[in-house]
Amino acid sequence: MRKIKTIDDITKDGAVEFGNGYEFVDKAEDADAILMRSTDLHGYELPEGIRAIARCGAGVNNIPIEEYAKRGVVVFNSPGANANAVKEIVLAALILSSRGVVQSMQWVRDNAEDPNILVNAEKAKKAFVGRELKGKRIGVIGLGNVGSKVANACVDLGMDVYGYDPFISVEHAWALSQSVQRVGTLEDLCRGCDYLTVHVPSKADTISMISTEQLDLLAPGAVLINYARETIIDEDAVDAALREGKLSWFSCDFATPKTVKMPNTFITTHSGAGTGEAEANCADMAISELKDYLENGNIVHSVNYPACSMGKARAASRIACLHANVPNMIGQITAILAKDNANVQRMVNESAGENAYTMFDTDEHLDATTIEALKQIPAIYRVRVIK
Ligand X SMILES: NC(=O)C1=CN([C@@H]2O[C@H](COP(=O)(O)OP(=O)(O)OC[C@H]3O[C@@H](n4cnc5c(N)ncnc54)[C@H](O)[C@@H]3O)[C@@H](O)[C@H]2O)C=CC1
Binding site for ligand HPV (CB under 6 A): 37-38, 56-59, 82, 270, 273
- We find the least distance from the C-beta atom of residue 82 to ligand HPV, in angstroms, to be 5
CB closer to ligand X, 196 vs 336: 196
- We find the least distance from the C-beta atom of residue 229 to ligand X, in angstroms, to be 5
Between 145-156 and 83-99, two packed helices, what is the crossing angle to 10 degrees?
Answer: 50
Which stretch of DSSP H or E encloses residue 170?
helix 170-175
- We find the least distance from the C-beta atom of residue 358 to ligand HPV, in angstroms, to be 30
Residues 6+ apart with CB under 8 A from 99: 128, 130, 131
Cα separation, 19 vs 2, in Å, equals 11
52 contacts which partner out of ligand HPV, ligand X, none, CB within 5 to 8 A by kind?
Answer: none
Strands 33-36, 2-6: pairing kind: parallel
CB closer to ligand HPV, 61 vs 177: 61
146 contacts which partner out of ligand X, ligand HPV, none, CB within 5 to 8 A by kind?
Answer: ligand X
CB closer to ligand HPV, 72 vs 80: 80
Q: What distance lies between CA 233 and its chain's CA centroid?
A: 17
Say if residues 258 and 238 touch (Cβ distance below 8 Å): no
Q: What distance lies between CA 49 and its chain's CA centroid?
A: 25
- We find the least distance from the C-beta atom of residue 41 to ligand HPV, in angstroms, to be 13
64 contacts which partner out of ligand X, ligand HPV, none, CB within 5 to 8 A by kind?
Answer: none
287 contacts which partner out of ligand HPV, ligand X, none, CB within 5 to 8 A by kind?
Answer: none
Residue nearest ligand HPV, Cβ-based: 57
CB closer to ligand HPV, 4 vs 329: 4
CB closer to ligand X, 85 vs 374: 85
- We find the least distance from the C-beta atom of residue 227 to ligand HPV, in angstroms, to be 8
- We find the least distance from the C-beta atom of residue 51 to ligand X, in angstroms, to be 24
The residues that touch ligand X, with contacts defined as CB under 6 A, are: 57-59, 79, 82-83, 86, 141-147, 164-168, 172, 199-202, 205-206, 227-229, 253, 270, 272-273
Cα separation, 26 vs 6, in Å, equals 8
- CA R_g for the chain: 25
Strands 2-6, 22-24: pairing kind: parallel
Residues 6+ apart with CB under 8 A from 262: 235, 238, 239, 242, 250
Among 127, 166, 123, 111, which Cα is nearest to 143's? 166
38 contacts which partner out of ligand HPV, ligand X, none, CB within 5 to 8 A by kind?
Answer: ligand HPV
CB closer to ligand HPV, 77 vs 248: 77
Cα separation, 267 vs 239, in Å, equals 14
- We find the least distance from the C-beta atom of residue 100 to ligand X, in angstroms, to be 24
Residues 6+ apart with CB under 8 A from 30: 3, 5, 49
CB closer to ligand HPV, 9 vs 188: 9
